[in-house]
Amino acid sequence: MNTIISFGLCPFVQRSLITMNYKNVPYDVKYIDLADKPEWFLKLSPLGKVPILQVEDVVLFESAVINEYVDEVNGDSLHSRDPLVKAKERAFIELSSSAIMNYFQAAIATEREVYEEKKLQLEKNLSSLLAEFKGPFFRGSEFSLVDTSVIPLIQRIALTGDLAKNLKLSEENSKKLISWSKNTLAMEEVKKSVPENFENDYKTYLKEKNSYVFSL
């Protein structure tokens, strides 16, 4: 059995759970408190970060790597067979990790300047992703690892209306973002990728940070 070590609100863990759900891979989830990391976790995780996937006695870390492993050993690959398309999508997965961090840093920024700076970075990275979005999914009709990597970000943007309404995107990109959200957030694989009460817990977590955007 595969075991995922998780923090319930982590978007990077969620990426791997969406991938495993989509590929019908059974797994256990072990939750830890990132504010009080257990010793056994620090011994396992070279970077002290979640997610970690334990496959028997092998430990994998880094969500994008975990996703590629899960994808490779379970049925038809979500990656394109075309090496150029595959390389390009891997690059966009890397970019989406930056966008996830930009979003989080904007959401928790307590000072206006920091908020504006992180929001600008998010707008830039999100626009690059959206410019390539074909619909209904990133590559077109085929679901891909870019989708599993970006959905946690799309979901958090949808949840935090105060930040979402301040995002400056072109009209075309705004439409694409709405379409990507509509086409993915209702998927069972996505709904099952977050713990019960995720929405409330996530909003509470952000509010407790006393951030600038939520005091507007």
Residue 173's nearest CA partner among 132, 119, 122, 115 is 132
Which of 38, 46, 48, 140 contacts ligand GSH by CB under 6 A?
48
User: Please, which of residues 4-43 interact with ligand GSH by CB under 6 A?
Assistant: 7, 10, 12, 34
Interaction between residue 202 and ligand GSH (CB under 6 A):
no
Cα dihedral 39, 61, 94, 33 sign: negative
| Residue 146 CB burial class (10 angstroms; 0-12, 13-18, ≥19) | buried
Q: Nearest 5°: phi and psi at 2?
A: -85, 140
Which of 32, 51, 102, 194 contacts ligand GSH by CB under 6 A?
51
Alpha helices in the chain (DSSP H): 11-22, 39-44, 63-73, 83-108, 112-132, 145-159, 161-164, 171-184, 188-191, 198-207
Identity of residue 162: D
User: 173 or 190, CB closer to ligand GSH?
Assistant: 190
Which of 19, 97, 127, 155 contacts ligand GSH by CB under 6 A?
97
User: 2 or 173, CB closer to ligand GSH?
Assistant: 2
Question: Least CB distance from residue 12 to ligand GSH, whole Å?
Answer: 4
60 to 89: interface string for ligand GSH, x by CB under 6 A: --xxx-------------------------
Interface residues with ligand GSH (CB under 6 A)? 7, 10, 12, 34, 48-51, 62-64, 97
